[in-house]
Amino acid sequence: MSVDPVRDHLEKTFGDAYRKEIEQEENVWRSLPFFAAALALQLAAIAQLREWVAAATGYGMLAALVLLGSAGIATLAALFFVLQSIAPARFRYVTPEPELIGYAAAVRKKASAKPGTTPEAADALALAAVRGLLVEQYALAAVHNRTINQLRATRRTRAGIATLVSILLLVGLLALSVVTTSSAHQRVLHGGGERHVLFLG
């Protein structure tokens, strides 16, 4: 049997692409711990700032509420995108092995039934049939699954950006609390009295 270099190349390339996309299927799930850790960090920060936010007044309170509200919206958006990225999807896979064996056997049987076909030729035809079918199925499944995986990755990226925005807002809130608290302490230390404390009750 002569070698078909084109089909050999396609079989290897598409087979690799198919296997890569299968590995990518679980990729989004593997990033979920990052989002869980980020959420835990945010909740811990909010717990630490709870008393300061409750005690803040005036512009301090307004800034705190804006930052906190924006962080909450960003976190909700992140959770939404995470949910989107793991939404149910229809993946495609090559024919199960037993059916491929049956297909090869059927092709060989049909080829053998033709007058003048040698057993070697029938075997070669069966092999070519299975390989040709697999090349097509690898290609179809890789393209199909890649589309889903890319969509999932895009949604995960959105979730990541929303999480980062949320963290940055909370960092801003934390910075505000530190600045105002130290400012208030400074004023108390320099005899300014409590009436100069802007953000603490």
Partner 1 sequence: MSSSSDDFREPGVARPAMVEVRKGWWKDEVSRVPTAPASASFDLSGSAFHGPVFNNAVFNDAVTLTQTIGTAPAKQAELTAALEAFRKLLAGLPATGRETANEAAETAGKLVEAVKPIKDEAFFRRQAAALRAVAGDIAASLPSVTAAAEAVIRAVGQIRGWM
Binding-residue total with partner 1 (CB under 8 A): 48
Please tell me whether residue 4 binds partner 1 under the rule CB under 8 A: yes
CA distances to 12, 45, 152 from 73, rounded to whole Å, are 47, 16, 21
Q: Give the residue with the Cβ less far from partner 1, 52 or 138.
A: 138
Residue 143 is inside which H or E element, if any?
helix 119-189
Is residue 128 a contact residue for partner 1 (CB under 8 A)? Answer: yes
Q: Return the number of other C-beta atoms located less than 10 Å from residue 118's C-beta.
A: 10
110 lies in the site for partner 1, by CB under 8 A: yes
Query: Of the two residues 56 and 104, which places its CB atom closer to partner 1 in the complex?
Result: 104
Residue 143: count other Cβ atoms within 10 Å of its Cβ.
14
- Closest approach, Cβ 114 to partner 1, in A, equals 10
Residues 88-107 that bind partner 1 (CB under 8 A): 88-96, 99-100, 102-103, 106-107
* DSSP codes joined into one string, 2-32: ---HHHHHHHHHHHHHHHHHHHHHTHHHHTH
CA-based angle 167:56:194, to the nearest 5?
135
Q: Which residues bind partner 1 (CB under 8 A)?
A: 1-4, 7, 10, 25, 86, 88-96, 99-100, 102-103, 106-107, 110-111, 120-121, 124-125, 127-133, 135-137, 139-141, 143-144, 146-148, 151
